[in-house]
Structure 1
Amino acid sequence: MAYARWKHILIESQRHALKAVDEWNCSSGNYSDFLTHMHKAWHYLLHAEFHMAKIDYHYKDAQTGQHKLIDGEAKAWHLEWCLKQRYTNSADPVRLNAELFVALRNKVEHRYEHNLKIVTGGKAQALVMNCEQEMVDHFGPAFSLADRLRFPIALQTLTAEGQAQLQEAAKKLPKKPRDLVAKFEASIESDVLDDMKYDYRVRLVPIVGKRNDADLAVNFVNLDELTDDEHAVMTKAGRTGTVITKVKHVETMNREKLRASDVAKRVEAELPFHFSLYGEHTEMWRRLNIRPAKDAPDPCITDARYCIYDEPVSTYLYTDAWVKKIIKEIGTVEKYRKFFGKDPRMKKVTTLPKQAEPAHDHRPIGKTA
């Protein structure tokens, strides 16, 4: 069947996207092949868009104005240039996500592929989903890949033991490839780094209760369609990537944990102004939402990075990370003023009065008055 040129290019993009996902999901798949196929999928997709819009996406000689040729064919724009033309905002999370994987494709070393795959998992998910969204937005739902992709069965991401293995493997990623990602993200604003179009992270919550025929193994929740209460619960749940194995509360062991009064003392010791337990500390845990209020129905719903609930003694305990978090948030007068909307109570500087030097006694030794 004869298709328009743009459709032939688009079909090639789809083929590479599916191959990339197969490489990612296959237990023996190759990370470099995933990068290569997604690179081509995006490249062909943007070429299809330009072709359909009658945009000339080929390089021209600056002097002659003629197309540059390779083996007799006009040289098409490379992916980085295509991304810049499609997404003119250099801070666009979709563009930044794709540019990161262009850099990874050019630099990745085969011996580090497994570790790098673990570290960039959320970003790879975003890369594929962005490609799918771009395809549907420009060419319609008929070109969606959703009916050809399935949720993979992956023990490592669904058990606590598997999660521990992933975290250990991520720690072993050598400095060189780790620095590549770190340097790329160094100049990116935090709100862009947290954007799901740049790094798509999910929390899996088992579905319990009676199912119906319309249920799927995986249901996606659109935050914009939730009530305010539902949105608050889901947003809090999404702040950490904890693996859920069964319904249970977070840890309650108090080893190496701090009482609130200890937190206040340690923070104040580091600051040039006062930090009170029932004033600043209480307001901070409320506003940063690290633990529920005293009368909450479930006291165990905390941000375990900073706080846990000790059930045997019915109290909240805090971590060293919480102390560091507080100091980072309000550690200067300017930060304190911005956070609390008021000036801090500065500590008084106390110095001993300078003592007068004793008058010299010029009388000979042994002489008394």
Structure 2
Amino acid sequence: MAGTGDESLSDDDHRRVAQEMFDRWHAGEPKSALEIEYWDNPTSHGKAFTAYVKKWLGVATEGRSRQAQRIEVLERMLRVHGISPSDSDELSVEYLLVAKARESALAALRAFNDPSSGYRTEQFILLMVIAWNSVMQAILERDGNDYFDRDDEGKVKKVDGRSRVRDTDQLIGLVGEGRMPAAAAENLRHFLRLRNLIAHRYLPALDAPTAGHAQSMLINFEELLVREFGAEAALGDELYLPLQIGKFQREPELKRIQAQLPLDVIEFLDQERRDVPEEILGDTRYCMRIFFVSTVANRERSADAAVTFVRPDEIGEELLAALPHTAVVTKAKRVAVASDDLLRPSEVVEKVRGRIDVRFTMDTHTRCWKHFKVRPPGNAAEPEATDQRYCRYDKLMRGYGYTPAWVERLVRDLSDSLIYESIVGRPG
């Protein structure tokens, strides 16, 4: 086969060969064996392979000392902060854009968490849109993709002598859904529309209704930043909970605050909720709902932390479905509970029947709780051994009550004809 410097091969051919060799080496084949097969070279002992792959793929395949690795990490840290590692190393455009993106996002975070600010949402949106623009341009610049606005003749448009970048919505399309999930892209577009609506207006009451979207926007941004430019680009090792002088706002208070907004802004927020598809509306990358749970430690110093954060992708689908109906979370244990929020089986049947298009009876309900194992069968030795997200045993009444989350679970799952048939044994 052709040698490493064979002039009969084009650059694309060399890159293809290098990629093929690299893939085989990565799968476990020795470098020396590949050198013999491809170049009939039994004397290089891996050096020719290393140089060839480095030249054509830009990938290092030789072990480096811990010091060299540490230096490389430090250099990357300097670059993402907009600092050149050496006087002779001019910082590339992509890293200047990454530094700008990070600084703008951190400024947005400081503005939103400033207790004296009455203009926090407007500042946050403005600065985060700049951050998103910058990081998307950095990705496109690094990958060699054109992101400038051009006229019908293909010439780059100019604004005050400078090349004009495409607008944010177009950049989202250029970056692509592979890098920006649909819910994250819709979250950014939500803030773009809101920015245009509230420009030059002072609306402190907007902070509470948009806090969940803002949290998602910040997390989406950092996830993209770290995924594309490494852990060194992260905004911070920890996200601290801002201290509150007043109490946390509950749903009635949020509605009262939102009622203070101008009618066109209220209509915009309501219309957004109506227009956004259900699968995106419920995605934490579009809007994050945060539940604060007050707990008491058994001993004065036994608590690990005042607040514990659990990432959405680390908890199950059923728990996410149950959270909107949960007022208090306690230590998991088998207890007898009598609660006004529990539903009788007949009430479950009535609620579910009104929301699905298939037949749902008391017999169907019995088949469902058996299928999903939400409670033990009758005369069980431990009748209280239920899945308390969906069902609880009332010892005094010697019966079972079902939670609103159980109704939601049934409506969601039984709307799927295949699931319905697998439980009931026949089509609906």
Same topology, TM > 0.5: yes
Partner of 1:52: 142
C-alpha deviation, 1:318, in angstroms: 5.5
Partner of 1:169: 256
Matched, 1:80 2:169: yes
Matched, 1:236 2:319: yes
The 1:296–1:28 alpha-carbon spacing in structure 2 relative to 1, beyond 3 Å, is farther
CA distance in structure 1 between the partners assigned to 2:339 and 2:366 by the alignment: 22
The 1:327–1:61 alpha-carbon spacing in structure 2 relative to 1, beyond 3 Å, is closer
Matched, 1:342 2:421: no
> Which of 335, 345, 355 is equivalent to 1:260?
345
C-alpha deviation, 1:186, in angstroms: 4.9
C-alpha deviation, 1:4, in angstroms: 2.9
Partner of 1:358: none
TM-score, L = length of structure 2: 0.59
C-alpha deviation, 1:324, in angstroms: 9.2
Partner of 1:357: none
CA distance in structure 2 between the partners assigned to 1:149 and 1:126 by the alignment: 13
Partner of 1:282: 366
Partner of 1:43: 133
SS of equivalent residue, structure 2 residue 323: coil
Matched, 1:180 2:263: no
Partner of 1:352: none
The 1:264–1:191 alpha-carbon spacing in structure 2 relative to 1, beyond 3 Å, is closer
Maintained 8 Å contact 1:100/1:181: no
Q: Deviations over 1:47-105 (max 9, x none)?
A: 22223333332211212x32211111111122111111102479622212211111111
Identity %: 22
CA distance in structure 2 between the partners assigned to 1:238 and 1:99 by the alignment: 26
CA distance in structure 1 between the partners assigned to 2:125 and 2:93 by the alignment: 25
RMSD of aligned residue pairs (Cα, Å): 4.6
The 1:163–1:190 alpha-carbon spacing in structure 2 relative to 1, beyond 3 Å, is same
> Which of 162, 178, 186 is equivalent to 1:96?
186
Q: Deviations over 1:223-275 (max 9, x none)?
A: 777xxxxx55x8526631446486698984438x7532355468779999864
CA distance in structure 2 between the partners assigned to 1:94 and 1:46 by the alignment: 13
SS of equivalent residue, structure 2 residue 288: coil
Which structure 2 residue ranges, 5 or more long, are not aligned? 1-82, 85-90
Question: Greater CA deviation, 331-340 or 38-47?
Answer: 331-340
The 1:301–1:79 alpha-carbon spacing in structure 2 relative to 1, beyond 3 Å, is same
Matched, 1:198 2:282: no
The 1:59–1:157 alpha-carbon spacing in structure 2 relative to 1, beyond 3 Å, is farther
Matched, 1:313 2:397: yes
CA distance in structure 1 between the partners assigned to 2:358 and 2:188 by the alignment: 45
Q: Deviations over 1:267-301 (max 9, x none)?
A: 77999986432x21233456678x64464656582
The 1:139–1:275 alpha-carbon spacing in structure 2 relative to 1, beyond 3 Å, is closer
Higher-RCO chain (CA-CA 8 Å, sequence separation at least 6): 1
Question: What are the residue-to-residue correspondences of 1:199-214 with 2, within 5 Å?
Answer: 199-205=287-293, 206=295, 208=297
Q: How many residues align?
A: 326
Maintained 8 Å contact 1:251/1:308: yes
CA distance in structure 2 between the partners assigned to 1:282 and 1:261 by the alignment: 11
CA distance in structure 2 between the partners assigned to 1:121 and 1:268 by the alignment: 36
Partner of 2:60: none
